[in-house]
Amino acid sequence: MTLINKKSFILSVLLIVCNLKSAYPGPPFDTDDPETVNFKHWEYYISSINTYQIGLWSGTSPHLEVNYGLIPNVQVHLLLPMNYLNPVHRHADFGYADTEFGIKFRFVRESDNSPQIGTFPILEIPTIKNSEFSSGKLKIYLPIWLQKSWGRLTTYGGAGYWINPGTVNKNWIFAGWELQYDFAKSLTLGGEIFFHSASAEGLKSVAGFNIGGSVNPSEKFHIIFSFGHTVTHDNTFNSYLGLLWTL
């Protein structure tokens, strides 16, 4: 492996490790919304995120996410990922590292003339020492999300600031916006555009898109999915596939 290729590979791994969880906030998209789980109700996700970049596969296989409506307009969130890192022509690594915990708070409810607005602070908590998938430092995400609906059409988005400590890490910004349409009770389709600034030294800001949605065999069971690609500075393919139960 030449020096240039080795440097590119190391930066690719660094990008995956630093940003692996940036896809978690609003399944199946990177962009989230301010809508909370209903009071005393649950959401259970079993999902897999997959990313391919410059000869490197990475993601979760799978991760478990649980959301609960603690009080009206407030939900608690827990995500437990089993990560993988699989460079082409090298052995694959699997491991658990960071536990994700968050509280979503909707402080403005939607009306005919105004959107609903909320925040969703998230903690990425180092749980198991594993340098392949964690910096070993507590990371904090502080976003603001907005959402407005008109009949079957819904749009939401916002931006957040990641506090990302580490030797070569940098604090970074994520921004995204999504648009979706309910074609029927059993089918919702949409897409998002997103941007995030550089999260480590030697990396560049990235913009991209994802398209996806949900197939809903029943009111309680949903198959959610998305796939997309970056459009600036790197060549990354992203996908998400998950099962959602609402109770």
Band of residue 104 on the pLDDT scale cut at 50, 70, 90:
very high
Closest CA to 146 of 164, 158, 160: 158
Which pLDDT score, from 0 to 100, does residue 5 have?
46
Average pLDDT, rounded, for the chain? 90
Is it the case that residue 11 has pLDDT exceeding 60?
A: no
Q: What is the pTM of this model?
A: 0.89
Closest CA to 49 of 12, 88, 10, 19: 19
Which pLDDT score, from 0 to 100, does residue 24 have?
54
CA distance 30 to 120: 13
Domain-by-domain residue ranges, the chain?
3-246
Of 20-29, 153-162, 172-181, 209-218, the least confident: 20-29
Band of residue 2 on the pLDDT scale cut at 50, 70, 90:
very low
3-state secondary structure of 82: strand
Is it the case that residue 12 has pLDDT exceeding 80?
A: no
C-alpha torsion 30→33→38→41, nearest 10: 10
Which pLDDT score, from 0 to 100, does residue 97 have?
85
> For the chain, where are the alpha helices, taking DSSP H only?
3-19
SS3 content of the chain, % helix, strand, coil (to 5): 10, 60, 30
CA distance 39 to 119: 17
What the block records as the tokens of 80 is 């437990």
Of 62-76, 83-97, 229-243, the least confident: 83-97
DSSP state of 36: P
Between these two residues, 194 and 92, which has the higher pLDDT value? Answer: 194
Is it the case that residue 100 has pLDDT exceeding 90?
A: yes
Q: What is the pLDDT of residues 106-147, one digit of tens each?
A: 999 999 999 999 999 999 999 998 888 888 999 999 999 999
3-state secondary structure of 4: helix
CA distance 176 to 120: 14
Between these two residues, 60 and 53, which has the higher pLDDT value? Answer: 60
The angle subtended at Cα 43 by Cα 144 and Cα 151, nearest 5°, is 65
Q: What is the pLDDT of residues 203-219, one digit of tens each?
A: 899 999 999 999 999 99
Q: What is the CATH number of domain 3-246?
A: 2.40.160.40
Residues 118, 106 contacting (CB under 8 angstroms): yes
